[in-house]
Chains A and B, each alone.
Chain A
Amino acid sequence: MKTKLLIEIAITMLRARLKQTLVAALGVTFGITMFIALLSFMNGLNELLDGLVLNRTPHVRLYNEIEPNKNQAVYLSEDYKHNYNFISSIKAGNSRQAIYNSNRIVKNLEQDPRVLGISRKVATQVFFNDGAVDIAGFMNGIEVAQEIRFYKFSDYVTDGNPMDIKNLSNSIILGKPLAHKLLANLGDVIQITTVEGERFPLKVVGFYESGLADFDKTQSFAAITTVQKILGESDSYVTDIQVKLLDLKQAPAVAKEYASIFETNAEDIQTANAQFETGTRIRNIISYAVGITLLIVAGFGIYNILNMMIYEKMDTIAILKATGFAGSDVKRIFIFISLSIGFFGCLVGLICGNGLTRIINHIPFHPTAIPTIKTFPVSYNPLFYVIAIFFSFLTTYFAGWFPAQKASKVDPVIIIRGK
């Protein structure tokens, strides 16, 4: 009953100053619209950029680093156990890049419940022969089906069918800039030379574009069996085992565990891409800061208009108090006015923000580096909307609180006797 009465009075006051109310609500609407659009757009870009790296990066990568043995002979000797031992000019002892006992490791990984998928890889350096010139580059022998499934390999193959490298023997997918240098078209045969000096003809069946041009200049992909054959190795010769986990956050712990169990090097995604997370975080901070600033500015608009309303409605406040409305009742009226401006402004703002996001999502955007993108990327994360609602209520509440406090302190005697 009482609340209903207070709301009724508040609505009447709002309607008496409809224009100013609309302007105030418009401020909130604008703030919320920009907040939503900005965050959606920023996060869309963030996801795109992160995806460039994260989609292609295994959560845990097992490999064999060429490095000096950690257990040098002198450490094992009983005689020198309590001495400080200085060894100069240590050299890496193992010239082998392949992982020891890879079949066994793969079998073990397949039984690990935390693992989503495994793909083996053979990476090697090769020379691409272009007439008299040799271009140094890398050749990756991959398991195509797994790469497509777990690392979106087919997204980056712009021409040709990625499965062809498995289905056609002695075939290769070249990085597009590399193919450009070699003047190779689809269906052409190119010559490569291995580090050991073996020459090999391979048929070009596709082009690869990752979005990082420098990377593409040196990369090529072939089936794992093709690369093993070129190197003259058996099918247990694997340089990398890439593991995708069910939960990305477990990667550092899992990497540590695998490194000790399998006695090999293991790198997790967080370590490999620490700098990307920093970039994402900074972009997020900037967009939140700008968005919240807009809302605070809108809050000042509401504050001004309510202050003006209080001066205009001094008589009304005085008479309400004289006829038995307490200061707290008056305060509630003005806070309700402020919150309802916030509510309607926010509601329209959410709709406009969503609309603006959709418009952005339809603006053509053709980055040469990322072939799968045709329009600006945006993110429709509901969290942005929740944050926008929360902040619009917070700012309008405080914008209303101070004038309301002032209104509740109005002394009716001064107003009434002032006439």
Chain B
Amino acid sequence: MMITILLMACITFFTRYLFLHRALPFKVGPKMQQFLSFSAPAVLTAIWVPIVFINDEGINLDWQNPYLSAAVVSVIVAYKTHNIYYTTLAGMGLFIILS
């Protein structure tokens, strides 16, 4: 198991380090840079939305789904306050009450 963990560590580190390696002979141009400026919202959203909508049976659009109502409240709080504490507290609080 330790071997697997070590190999996994090499892979995650490789993905993080590769493009910060100076010997890679390229520059990221302004167009590429603009494209990449959308990577944070794209990747983070692609991670959190499926957590909310997918359960063991598949896509769940039911309003009784506590993930969904708590996520809606989190989005509203995040939009209004721009505050990480309030957003996670409101979201987790409601989620725990509902589930």
A complexed with B: no
Query: Which B residues lie at the A interface, using CB under 8 A?
Result: none
A binding-site residues for B, Cβ under 8 Å: none
